[in-house]
Structure 1
């Protein structure tokens, strides 16, 4: 019987088989669940035990209640005990007071809530890393 080339556009090479080899005959696989015993340092034979992983959580002291002035806090970002830096910033209350003054007709006094610190929020920041710590609002 004559041997036919499966791919007529490719020339047939001498010594190359037409079908791919079957590897199941030449490389037998191990059965699933086949575990080799391991010799322990104590002389016992058994599987390698897994060590439990320890998870360490670092807890920081809570930030004390903040006021309108700088206070001593432990920063959660840089873990340093520093005096906080306070920046007074306009809040919703500031804008509402300005809108009420405008509706009442006191157009000259609209800028007053933006100039008075009691109408603003006191935002506290770390003096070392400038991380936001919290807010104090009246």
Structure 2
């Protein structure tokens, strides 16, 4: 059986022989060709797998210090010294808004009420040695 080849040419009049393109045989002819034997899928014996290196990172978390309105003993996260924190307190932003609202509604007789309520204050804890911020309570 002779192999069939199709020649694709351009419709130009002055065409050179080198411009012709040879197409592969049609699908039916390619399907009748003998199939190659399948190679085994097992890896070659010369291939050696490298050992796996497993890196583990262990993170130890210290429990959060129970910050409150009073100074506490802790290890400073900046200078790593055991210290008793220095505390400062100030009114929260919501408290100032409430003072303004009570001043408008109740006059000077009621505007001082948020200033005497402990829950309206925020307490900041700082290291007395390096003045690093340690935490806050609200």
TM-score for the superposition, normalised by structure 2: 0.49
Q: Of the two, which has the highest radius of gyration?
A: 2
TM-score for the superposition, normalised by structure 1: 0.49
